[in-house]
A and B are shown apart, each in its own frame.
Chain A
Amino acid sequence: MATSNRAGRAQRAARPEKKGEKRKLLSSGDLLLVRKDMGELWARRGLRALLMFLPVALVVLTPIVYFSAISLLPVPDGAQVPERILSLLPSSAAGLEYRRAWQVAFKELLCPLLFLCVPILTAAASASCAFVTERETGTFETLLLTSLDVKAVFNAKVTGCTILSVLISGASFLLFGITLMIAGLFTGAPLLLSLDWLVLVLLLAPALSLFSVVFVGLILNRVHSTAESLQTMGYLILPVVVLYLVQLTGILRLNALVLAVLALALAVVDVVLFNAASRGFTPERLLREERDGLSK
């Protein structure tokens, strides 16, 4: 009797939701998978080192090297910052002395590019491990044999990787802020962050994180290994690099409004790609490689 009661309880608990029932964004099973994915990603020594080193290298070491170089290297007499660069800076930068002007130019024109590499790289790296490694190690099949819907598995994986990437991006922004503060103390004039940075951190970085994760999910059926999947990071970074290099030509200025519009457009693309990737996330396609050697 006790056994049948327990069986009943377990089966009721395992009962999937019926049509028409109010569905939570993430069920308890989905949340468990999100937690497992985030924990497993962080537990991987190589990936953890990558996720920690990349942001530090991009938003701490590179600015430190730059600010040190600009502060310590001798300035030739009569050296001036090119007018074209000065025209790209905010109006408050007008009339700044040589060293100070280059510091502001670096902060305004190059640091956003370095910062945006963080969500892209961390999201692509974590998604590669969460999706491709799971398939390589044969645990995807086990996951697809649970009472979780295959779409819920996709949602949970995307959520886990995006959250991890957004958290790391947030931490990177804090580190960058601290670096700027210290650099300001040394140079004697504080380097303040503009409104552009608010848009970058709160809108564009999360949108880029989601885009990178969904992109890896989209090409999942075309890559054969985690290493191959990691190579996609190059394709993801390229458009951002091009965008910031185009800015240096003076064609456009990436101010808060332009960045907000870009973030909005990217969010729309995210939704479209998410649906496309979710549709392609089927057991038949995910376990495709096995069938070639299977026929048992």
Chain B
Amino acid sequence: MDVITAFDLSKIYGATPALRGVNLKVPEGAAFACVGGADAGKTTLVRLLAGLRRPTSGECGVLGLNPAYEAARLHSMAGVALQSARLYGSMSLMENLRFYAGVNGVPENDGIERISFLLHRLNIWEDRDQRPGSLPTGVLFRAGLARALLHRPRVLLLDEEGAGMDRETAERVKGLLLYLREEEGVTILMCTQNMNYAQGICSGFALLHRGQLLARGDFETLRVGAGVRLKAALRLAQGQEGPEGFRLEDGLWQKEIASEAEMPELISQAVAQGTGLFEAKLARPTLEEVYRAYLEGGRRRGAEIRGDQ
């Protein structure tokens, strides 16, 4: 069952299109990432799915509900963490979370238990009596995530604008998201510029660029679609020439291969030739490389079309 759907979803602010004809399907229990640059339309997508905006055209749904018309019901089953959604500056972190737990109808004792669990898990328990104004961005981002998870939602919509993810925040958030997916069965839609971070958490991806969907699917599908190949990388003895077809890049002799099945043969060939082989590894491309390849492909196709005309 698809928990999050978008069909030909578009949003235009004034004369500026923020999202253009995006199609999306996220199955239940999946962790899915929408990645792209600063003007890709990620925040707009989350806002449309959260019911904070109405689409200009097309449709979207979360848990079978139309966010534009059933926002309150949706929010009782889905958590939304946006960096622009702030906490009250006049209350401490704990008071803020207890207020939002109460507003979401979470019984008081359950709320306290849940807050304690989330703050410990995100390592911000010590900051519970601080007011948001005195806390660093990373802690506020984690507190915002805790706020979105107070009522044990079935779906989490997370918008990470890339501003507040220090190393500890990134690790703690990643740990919690993996826990939510595995232990609580939460479906996660994450929008971020940080593609390598998303790659470590999610299994499905949508590549967005200037409001348009470039491609979507799992990493392998995207990699193959972008024409980005795996590489065999060999570390040889100092001054030793690499086998035929290999080129020296970043201190390693590398060669593009079609699949990892070619690796045993390449290694045995190198050994048979008497090469001083210290290390052999399969270099997988990153999501960022795949994204760049899609962008380059798009530009190439655009140039070809312009050339034809």
| A contact set with B: CB distance below 8 Å | 3, 6-7, 9-11, 13-16, 28-29, 32-33, 36, 40, 43-44, 137-139, 141-150, 152, 283-284, 287, 290-292, 294-296
Partner of A11, one of B103, B147, B152: B152
Counting from the closest, the 8 A-B pairs by CB-CB distance are A147-B76, A138-B86, A296-B43, A142-B85, A13-B105, A149-B72, A14-B76, A14-B105
- The contact string, 1 if C-beta is below 8 Å from chain A, for chain B 35-79, is 000111111100000111110000000000000000111011100
List chain B residues, Cβ under 8 A from A15: 76, 105
New A-B contacts (15) at CB < 8 Å, excluding given A145-B82, A296-B38:
A7-B152, A7-B184, A44-B90, A139-B88, A145-B52, A147-B72, A147-B73, A147-B76, A147-B103, A148-B72, A149-B72, A284-B52, A290-B84, A296-B40, A296-B42
* Interchain CB contact under 8 A, B103 and A29: yes
Which B positions have Cβ atoms within 8 angstroms of A?
Answer: 13-14, 16, 18, 38-44, 50-54, 71-73, 75-77, 80, 82, 84-90, 99-100, 102-107, 110, 113-114, 147-148, 151-152, 154, 161, 183-184
> How many inter-chain contacts with C-beta < 8 Å in the A-B complex?
138
Give which listed residue, B51, B84, B183, contacts A283 with CB less than 8 A.
B51
Interface centre among B71, B77, B154, by most chain A C-beta atoms within 10 angstroms, is B71
Contact B105 A33 (CB under 8 A): no
Q: Tell me, in angstroms, the Cα distance from A10 to B115 when the chains sit together.
A: 13
* A44 to B107 Cα, complex, angstroms: 29
Q: Assess the A10–B151 pair: CB atoms within 8 A.
A: yes
Q: In the complex, A295→B106 CA distance in Å?
A: 34
Does A142 contact B151, Cβ atoms closer than 8 Å?
A: no
- Residues of chain B lying within 8 A (CB to CB) of residue A145: 50, 52, 75, 80, 82, 85, 148
Are B104 and A146 in contact, CB atoms less than 8 angstroms apart?
yes
Given contacts A10-B152, A295-B13, contact A148 B103 (CB under 8 A): yes
- Contact B103 A9, beta carbon cutoff 8 Å: no
CA distance A74 to B151 in the complex (A): 72
Taking A14-B105, A283-B51 as contacts, is the C-beta distance between A138 and B151 under 8 angstroms? no
Please indicate which of the listed interface residues B40, B76, B87, B105 has the most CB atoms of chain A within 10 Å of its own CB.
Answer: B105
Q: How many whole Å from A10's CB to the nearest CB in chain B? A: 5
Chain A residues with CB under 8 A of B41? 295-296
Which of B18, B40, B114 contacts A10, CB < 8 Å?
B114
Cross-chain contact A147 with B161 (CB below 8 angstroms): no
Please tell me which one of the listed residues B18, B51, B148 contacts residue A296 in the complex, with CB atoms under 8 A apart. Answer: B18
- The listed residue (A11, A139, A290) touching B151 by CB distance below 8 A is A11
Taking a contact as CB atoms under 8 Å apart, the answer to whether A13 and B106 are in contact is yes
List the B residue with the shortest CB-CB distance to A287: B52
Verify B151–A147 contact, CB threshold 8 A. yes
Task: List residues of chain B with CB within 8 A of the CB of A9.
Answer: 107, 110
How close is B145's CB to chain A, nearest CB, in angstroms? Answer: 12
Residues from chain B with Cβ under 8 Å of A139 in the complex: 85-88
B86 near A295 with CB under 8 A, answer no
In the assembled complex, which residues on chain B have CB atoms less than 8 Å from the CB atom of A150? 71-72
B85 x A10 contact (CB < 8 A): no
Task: Tell me if A294 and B43 are in contact (CB < 8 A).
Answer: yes
A-B contact pairs, 16 of them (CB 8 A): A10-B151, A15-B76, A29-B105, A32-B103, A40-B90, A138-B86, A139-B87, A142-B87, A145-B50, A145-B75, A147-B103, A147-B151, A148-B103, A283-B51, A283-B53, A287-B52
Inter-subunit contact B72/A142 (CB<8 Å): no
Q: Name which residue of chain B comes closest to A11, CB basis.
A: B152
Assess A141 versus B53: contact at CB under 8 Å? Given A9-B107, A10-B151: no
Residue in A14, A44, A138, A149 whose CB lies within 8 Å of B85: A138
> From residue A250, how far is it (CB to closest CB) to chain B in Å?
50
By the criterion CB–CB under 8 Å, are B106 and A14 in contact?
A: yes
Taken together as a complex, chains A and B put the C-alpha atoms of A107 and B205 apart, in Å, by 74
CB neighbours (8 Å) of A28 from chain B are: 102, 105
Contact A137 B89 (CB under 8 A): yes
Contact status B88-A10, CB under 8 Å: no
Q: In the bound complex, what is the Cα–Cα distance between A4 and B285 (angstroms)?
A: 39
Q: Are A296 and B151 in contact (CB under 8 A)?
A: no
- Cα-based distance from A13 to B103 in the complex (angstroms): 10
CB-defined contacts of B148 to chain A, threshold 8 Å: 145
Chain A: minimal CB distance from B205 (Å): 18
Asked whether, in the complex, the Cβ of A294 is within 8 Å of the Cβ of B18, the reply is: yes
Q: Which residue of A lies closest to B72 (CB)?
A: A149
Query: Which residue in B42, B54, B105 is a CB contact (below 8 Å) of A284?
Result: B54
Q: How far, in angstroms, from A287 to B53 measured CA to CA in the complex?
A: 9
Task: Identify which of A6, A33, A146, A295 contacts B113 (C-beta below 8 A).
Answer: A6
**What CA separation (Å) do A262 and B76 show in the bound complex?**
43
Q: Is the CB of B107 within 8 A of A296?
A: no
Q: Which residues of B contact A287 (CB under 8 A)?
A: 52-53
Residues of B within 8 A of A152 (CB): 72
> Are B44 and A296 neighbours in the complex by a CB distance under 8 Å?
yes
A11, B18: Cβ atoms under 8 Å? no
**Cβ distance B29 to chain A, nearest Cβ, rounded Å:** 15
Residues of B with C-beta under 8 A to A7: 152, 184
Q: Are B39 and A295 in contact (CB under 8 A)?
A: yes
Name the residue among A40, A141, A143, A287 with the largest chain B CB count within 10 angstroms.
A141
Q: Is the CB of A6 within 8 A of B151?
A: no
Distance between A136 CB and nearest chain B CB, rounded to angstroms: 10
Contacts of A6 on B, CB cut-off 8 Å? Answer: 110, 113-114, 152
User: In angstroms, how far is the closest chain A Cβ from the Cβ of B228?
Assistant: 26
Q: Which residues of A contact B50 (CB under 8 A)?
A: 145
* Residue pair B13, A294 in contact (C-beta under 8 Å): yes
Q: How far is the CB of A157 from chain B (nearest CB, A)?
A: 13
